[in-house]
Amino acid sequence: GGMTIHGFRGELLSVSRDPHHHPDAIRYEPDGLLVVEDGIVVARGDYMTLAGRFPGLAIEHLPGLIVPGFIDAHVHYAQMDHIASHGEQLLDWLDRHIFPAEKAFADRAHADRTASLFLDELLRNGTTSALVFPTVHAHSVDALFDAALDRNMRILSGKILMDMGPEGLADTVDSGRSESDALIRRWRGRGRLGYAVTPRFALTSSDAQLQVAGALLADHPDVLLHTHLAENLRECAAVADRFPAAQDYLDVYDRFGLVGDRSVFAHGVHLSDRACARLAQSGAGIAVCPSSNLFLGSGFFDFGQADAHGVRIGLGTDVGAGTSFSLLHTAGLAYQAALSRHDPLDPFRALYLATAGGAALLHMDDRVGGLEPGQEADFVLLDCAATPLLARRTEHATLADRLFALQILGDDRVIARTYILGQCAWDRQGTAS
Ligand code: GUN
Ligand code: ZN
């Protein structure tokens, strides 16, 4: 058969558990060997120690820092062409810029073109997996999943449920349920894909549709729940207004069976301590999106509050409200958001959040995120000398300082190569296979 085994020699770094709680989780080999067989890591360690076990192994030397592929825990593919739209906070920005943009996805060909460009942009930025908002149109999921299958990428998505959305962009309780059910059945077990039941947020679904979302989640133990939570103060006030009986915004979702260990909530900028305690107890997590929170004037995520309660977190770009596809750049902004509360984010923890932390949040940490033996070989080659300034800043720096400089100064320019299942899927030099 076509068994292929291949070695990659280089500087290896991964953080497979939260170093905030597990300081020994940082795994670093200055001269490491990664052995990949049919896309799976079969061995990893110090080159000198390990190489003798694989006589005759074809070894490729990768100059740069090798880290696991980045995982974007919250991003909207249909918004990519409307990134950098000027002037408004969340609710007005949605009405003015985003809902019109999403209406264009009624055209399947437009969805196909955008999905391809989107996944290529992820690869250019070192992102190998993502939890993705498409649009209300069922075929917007087909377009994304077809493009992800072509690229062998581990991608999660599900059609948006929004029966109270604007004219021309709303489904119904019945169509939302039947189309979600059909998509789950159509895509189950294919490639590296997974489904997420995706009510847009509390304000765009009727009570009956939120109930349907809960029923879909209960019926399908392999799917996630993906929505937005407590992003913007006007949004929070409107939710409190509509659901006066709920204890807080999270409790609205809880009342419909939407809060559990498979739930991923984007933002959580404005959370009560009660909500944080409930998130931690349920195992639900937050996709923290600092770039978006700055762009829409939403506020700063409170890492200290989340940590005090033990809330699971990952990092999301939230493009098109986010202004960059780079999780390195997003990690740098997370540092700045945390520092605004005098709580500097450690660069190794930031790397964890962008890799294994996101994988855990998305329930794919058995497959990706740590470059551990048995996991899939999705990884990125980082160039610490990508710009003259980065080269100077990192030349004699410690590993921690180099990693921090990559997060503060780096972006797509430092992604020299991106590998999917051990195959080069993006090469900055333009020689990708
Ligand atoms: N809340 C509801 N929909 C959206 C969206 O498309 N983007 C963001 N950032 N927040 C939302
Ligand atoms: Zn979003």
Segment 75-91, tens digit of pLDDT: 999 999 999 999 999 99
Using the mean position of ligand 1's atoms as its centre, give its distance from the Cα of residue 4 in Å: 43
Q: Are 11 and 65 in contact (CB under 8 A)?
A: yes
Q: pLDDT at position 1, please? A: 45
Pocket of ligand 1 (CB under 6 A): 76, 90, 94, 98, 200-201, 228, 231, 292, 318, 321
| Structure confidence at residue 431 as a pLDDT band (50, 70, 90) | low
Cα 54 from chain centre: 35
Which contiguous run of DSSP H or E holds residue 407? helix 399-409
Q: What is the largest CA-CA distance in the chain?
A: 69
Q: Would strands 415-420 and 379-382 be described as parallel, antiparallel, or unpaired?
A: antiparallel
* Among 99, 103, 132, 200, residue to substitute to test ligand 1 (most atoms within 8 Å of Cβ): 200
| Ligand 2 center from residue 133 Cα (angstroms) | 7
Give the distance (Å) from ligand 1 centre to CA of residue 232. 10
Counting ligands in written order, which one lies closest to the CA of residue 136? 1
Q: Tell me: the pLDDT tens digits for 282-314?
A: 999 999 999 999 999 999 999 999 999 999 999
pLDDT band at 433 (very low <50, low <70, confident <90, very high): low
Q: What one-character DSSP code corresponds to residue 353?
A: I
Residue-wise pLDDT for 343-382, tens only, equals: 999 999 999 999 999 999 999 999 999 999 999 999 999 9
C-alpha 153 to ligand 1 mean position (Å)? 24
The pick from 98, 160, 226 for probing ligand 1's pocket by mutation, whose C-beta has the most ligand atoms within 8 angstroms, reads: 98
Ligand 1 nearest-atom number relative to CA 76? 6
Ligand 1 nearest atom to the CA of residue 298, by list position = 9
Residue 432 is predicted with a pLDDT of 56
Which CATH superfamily includes the segment(s) 5-68+369-427?
A: Urease, subunit C, domain 1 (2.30.40.10)
DSSP assigned state of 72: E
Q: Is the pLDDT of residue 2 over 80?
A: no
Among candidates 267, 202, 226, which has minimal Cα distance to 141?
Answer: 226
Pocket test for ligand 1, best of 228, 235, 264, 291 (most atoms within 8 A of CB): 228
What pTM value is reported for the model? Answer: 0.98
**What are the structure tokens assigned to 141, written together?**
């999921």
Atom of ligand 1 nearest to the CA of 201: 2
79 alpha carbon, closest ligand = 1
What is the pLDDT, as a whole number, of residue 3?
72
Provide the CATH number for the domain formed by 70-345 in this structure.
Answer: 3.20.20.140
DSSP 376: B
Ligand 1 atom at minimum distance from 98 CA: 6
Q: Separation of 201 CA from ligand 2 center, angstroms?
A: 9
Q: Are 183 and 158 in contact (CB under 8 A)?
A: yes
Nearest atom in ligand 1 to the alpha carbon of residue 203 is 2
- Which atom of ligand 1 lies at the shortest distance from residue 204's CA? 2
For the CA of 228, the nearest atom of ligand 1: 1
Q: Are 347 and 403 a contacting pair, CB within 8 Å?
A: yes
Q: What are phi and psi of 78, to 5 degrees?
A: -75, -10
Q: DSSP per residue over 243-264, as a string?
A: -TTSSSHHHHHHTTT--STTEE
When pLDDT is averaged across residues 182-187 and rounded to a whole number, the result is 98
Ligand nearest to the CA of 132: 2
263-280 average pLDDT score: 98
Give residue-wise pLDDT tens across range 393-404: 999 999 999 999
How many A from CA of 62 to the centre of ligand 1?
Answer: 39
Q: What pLDDT does 430 receive?
A: 84
Ligand nearest to the CA of 204: 1
Q: How confident is the model at residue 421 (pLDDT cuts 50, 70, 90)?
A: very high
Cα–Cα dist 368/414, whole Å: 21
Query: How far, in Å, is the centroid of ligand 1 from the Cα of 205?
Result: 13
Report CA(320)–ligand 1 centroid distance (Å): 9
Ligand 1 pocket test, pick from 75, 94, 105, 157 with the greatest ligand atom count within 8 Å of Cβ, gives 94
Q: Which two tokens stand for residue 38?
A: 């049919």
Shortest-distance Cα residue to atom 9 of ligand 1: 321
Q: How do residues 194-212 score in pLDDT, each as one tens digit?
A: 999 999 999 999 999 999 9
Residue 375 to residue 365: CA distance in whole angstroms = 9
Contact between 69 and 367 under an 8 Å Cβ cutoff? The reply is no
Quote the ipTM score.
0.99
Show me where the domains of the chain are located.
5-68+369-427, 70-345
> DSSP class of residue 309?
H
Nearest to 207 by CA among 173, 166, 251: 173
Residues with Cβ within 8 Å of residue 432, at least 6 apart in sequence:
417, 424, 425, 426
Q: How far is the CA of 416 from the centre of ligand 2 (A)?
A: 28
User: pLDDT tens for residues 51-78?
Assistant: 999 999 999 999 999 999 999 999 999 9
Cα–ligand 1 centroid distance for 93 (angstroms): 9
